[in-house]
Amino acid sequence: MGSGPSAESRASDGDEPPLEGVVDQEYGFRVHRVEANSPGDLAGLQSILDYVVVANGKARPGRTADPLRADRIRLDSDDGVFVKMIGDSVGGEIPCTVFNTQTLRTRETVIRPTANWGGAGLLGVTIRFDVARPLEKHTLHVLDVYPSSPASAAGLDAFNDYILGVGDLLYDGPDEFGEIVAYNCGRPVRLYVYSSRTEAVREVTITPSKDWGGEGCLGGVLIWATPVLIPLG
């Protein structure tokens, strides 16, 4: 998993107020799975929290793209433009603006598509077009993890972990999360979990079970609150 912005990622001005009007209003490509050492990982993309909202046009191989070019494209529709841009920029660069729903700010980064990074795809990233979803609607704080439970076996960390997503879905509140867990009882489920210890999102595989010897399918205490405040370090 990506561990945070790379040296080439540049945050917006720290004095800039949070862009609260973006949430639930503006669209972009939400980042899901980020493969280690992939172009997306090297660009500092973070699962679930990051949305790619603006991208430059093609930068040919051997040339450095200008992030201030006038042909920057707002990625507000799933019209195939971004996918084509990725394919056209193999061996080159794509300067991007990324909005983060944790900080409510944007940052600039550069993605270098390539088929030779050692994994699948040109970016090593799974993306999904969607509105920028409010963080508090899909965040559960892990308050306790029972010994010998599925949550314990998955390595969930009480007090420090926050569950943000399930597979390629952003659940809408605790009831929907509970329904997803119950439906997948006995089957492995992929969670996206933010750790306040590492300040990064990681993938966790958990297998809900009613037979682990305790209460519930996960064996932990989760709490949902509005607004959810994820520590920024």
Q: Pick the residue with more confidence: 76 or 12?
A: 76
> What does the pLDDT read at residue 162?
94
Positions at the binding site for Zn(2+): 32
Positions at the binding site: 32
> What does the pLDDT read at residue 62?
43
Q: What's the pLDDT tens digit per position in 6-23?
A: 334 445 445 566 677 777
Shared domain check, 187 and 116: no
Q: Would 5 be classed as within a structural domain? A: no
- Report which of 188, 198, 129 is spatially closest to residue 157, judged by C-alpha positions: 198
Say if residues 160 and 196 touch (Cβ distance below 8 Å).
yes
| Alpha helix (H) residue ranges in 72-172 | 81-88, 150-153
What mean pLDDT is reported for the chain? 85
> What does the pLDDT read at residue 137?
86
Q: What is the mean pLDDT of residues 117-122?
A: 95
Shared domain check, 128 and 159: no
Q: Who contacts 151 (Cβ-Cβ below 8 Å, separation ≥6)?
A: 142, 145, 206, 218, 219, 220
Shared domain check, 120 and 23: yes
Q: Which of 3-7, 145-149, 184-188 has the lowest mean pLDDT?
A: 3-7
Q: What is the mean pLDDT of residues 216-230?
A: 77
* Percentage of residues in the chain having pLDDT higher than 70: 82
Q: Which domain holds residue 143?
A: 136-223
* pTM: predicted TM-score of the whole model, two decimal places: 0.83
Say if residues 164 and 49 touch (Cβ distance below 8 Å).
yes
